[in-house]
Amino acid sequence: MSSECGTKPGIRRVTPISTAQDTITALATPLGEGGVAVLRISGPQALQIGDAVFRPAGSSSRRPTEAESHTVHYGHVVRNGMRLDEVLVTVLRPPRTYTREPTVEISCHGGLVVARLVLEAVLAAGARLAEPGEFTQRAFLNGRLDLAQAEAVADLIHARTTLAASAAQAQLGGALSRRIHAVRDDLMSVLAHVEAHLDFPDEDIAPDTGQRLRRRLEEAATTVDVLIQTAHDGQVLRRGLRAAIVGRPNAGKSSLLNRLLGHDRAIVSPEPGTTRDTVEETAGIRGIPVVFIDTAGLRETEEAVEQEGVRRSREAAASAELILHVLDGSEPLALDDAELLRTWQGRPVLAVVNKSDLPRKCLLPEGVRSVAASCATGDGLDRLQEAIESLVWSGRIAGEATPVTVNARQADALRRSADALRRALATLQSGESLEFTALELRLAVGAVGEVVGAATTEDLLDAIFRQFCLGK
């Protein structure tokens, strides 16, 4: 459960898409066989609905309406007098709940049938099935999370590496929100100062208004620009990096994929042209989720199926953010490989010189970044992972860091804020009326506030929270 966060001053909450008077329910654990399934009920009638389906067993167990907050009770879920399952019920009273609403969580046995029966009993007692992300949307609307923290919940759920999870935890804890609120508060202070100067020009509020304004706006613009620059890192952490493994047949591409994954995923054969289609698999490399794409060997061929494989290989290389060009280090550099290396110029590329356990005969052109490795022995795999990490982060952050990063939506809002700040600075430098500066400042404040959910539209909230899984 994420940390508490109070409503921030100046944030306007919007009306939820569905009425907040509804009591909603959904399974908070994935469907399927398992030891335990957890059903969450949240809303004004959560405790009463809990009473309707739960029968305490034992002297210490209580009905939800009679139970103290944050207590667990043993008993059975019943419907029409029939016991459906033996359960534990957790009672959570506001404000210390995920949604800041009365909440009941039922832990029943895992399994498609029993979990469905318990869910149907709760629905029959008066709850409504929650929409995807509706619990987190209520947490936002009730002031427990701001919008940046709410989006971090989804990032945490979908994190595929420890670094991605750590970054999501930092954002959920308010690392990004604090920086956004600081910038927004400062801009609002500047805007209030400007508007006071406009409203009371005879009061001589600040003789050095121009110089002070420029300095404060420049500082705010710098902070916003720094946050915008984290968008690439945030994309890598959330979506992963696509890395195409390319090269001539039998260079060791499939063997390299298997080594990086730690298990056999691609077929390895001494016969050229074994790989006919792209094979994709994700692995964590120094905390970075990397989608490795094993491709067909790049060569001229008359065979129709292999020609299609080569075409797909070139497509994968064209769309990849990183190219791992595998070379046979025991042979001189082939003309085809030299031509491919020229083709990759200007792209993030790393030459993986395979078969480092054999005498090296492959000499690379000057300026080509390379790592020697052996897919047969595993030698050099650590150096390869370090090189991939270095190419991804370009030296900006270390692998163990938990960076404050922004997603695409947040980056768009920050860019609009930065543009407005630059226009505001231009009005000051040109000596225009402060009314024009105030206009641009209002746009900057509004745009930066969108990151944390200030004055956010209902349609935008709907689009954001429907990306969440059901039950969150």
Q: Could you count the other beta carbons within 10 Å of the beta carbon of residue 451?
A: 30
pLDDT of the residue at 456 = 55
* Statement: residue 389 has pLDDT above 90: no
3-state secondary structure 296-365: CCCCCCCCHHHHHHHHHHHHHHHHCCEEEEEEECCCCCCHHHHHHHHHCCCCCEEEEEECCCCCCCCCCC
Mean pLDDT over 305-311 rounds to 68
Asked whether residue 388 falls in the same domain as residue 413, the answer is: no
Q: Residue 76: give its domain's CATH number.
A: 3.30.1360.120
Question: Distances from the Cα of 362 to the Cαs of 76, 80, 149, 332, in angstroms?
Answer: 71, 77, 51, 4
Shared domain check, 98 and 60: yes
Q: Which is more confidently placed, 463 or 9?
A: 463
Q: Which string of b and e fits 218-227 if b means at least 16 CB within 10 Å?
A: eebbebbeeb
What integer pLDDT is reported at residue 461 of this predicted model? 61
Q: For residue 353, which of 384, 307, 388 has the smallest C-alpha distance?
A: 384
Mean pLDDT value of segment 154-168: 78
The answer to whether residues 117 and 45 belong to one domain is yes
> Does some domain include residue 285?
yes
Q: Is 60 exceeded by the pLDDT of residue 397?
A: no
Number of compact structural domains in the chain: 3
- Give the burial string for 251-289 (b: 16+ CB within 10 Å, else e): bbbbbbbbbbeeeebbebeeeebbbbebbebebebbbbb
- Whether 147 is covered by a domain: the verdict is no
The verdict on residue 103 lying in a domain is yes
User: Does some domain include residue 281?
Assistant: yes
pLDDT (average), residues 257-276: 61
**Mean pLDDT lowest among 189-198, 202-211, 254-263, 444-453:** 202-211
Does residue 359 sit within a domain? yes
Task: Tell how strand 349-354 and strand 370-372 pair up.
Answer: parallel
What pLDDT is recorded for position 155? 83
Same domain assignment for residues 377 and 271: yes
Q: Tell me the pLDDT band of 10, cut-offs 50, 70 and 90.
A: very low
CB 27 within 8 A of CB 108: no
N-to-C CA span, the chain: 11
306 in the same domain as 426: no
For residue 148, tell me if it sits in a domain: no
CB 252 within 8 A of CB 266: no
List the domain range (segments joined by +) for residue 204: 169-230+405-465
Q: Are residues 97 and 205 in the same domain?
A: no
Q: Are residues 445 and 307 in the same domain?
A: no
Lowest-confidence pick of 59-63, 80-84, 415-419, 426-430: 426-430
Residue 383 within a domain:
yes
- 3-state secondary structure (DSSP) of residue 9: coil
| DSSP helix/strand/coil, 108 | strand
List the structure tokens of 40: 């969450």
| Per-residue pLDDT, 346 | 77
Q: Kindly tell me if the per-residue pLDDT of 396 is higher than 50.
A: no
Check which CATH number belongs to the domain holding 309 and give it. Answer: 3.40.50.300
Cis bond upstream, residue 348 (ω within 30): no
pTM: 0.66
Mark whether 384 and 288 lie in a shared domain: yes
Whether residues 189 and 110 share a domain: the answer is no
Q: Which of 373, 393, 413 is the last residue of a domain?
A: 393
pLDDT digits (tens, 9 = 90+) for 116-158: 999 999 999 999 999 888 998 999 989 898 888 888 888 888 7
**What CATH code is carried by the domain that includes residue 426?**
1.20.120.430
What are 263's two structure tokens?
A: 């298990």
Note the pLDDT tens digit of each residue in 236-246. Answer: 777 777 888 88
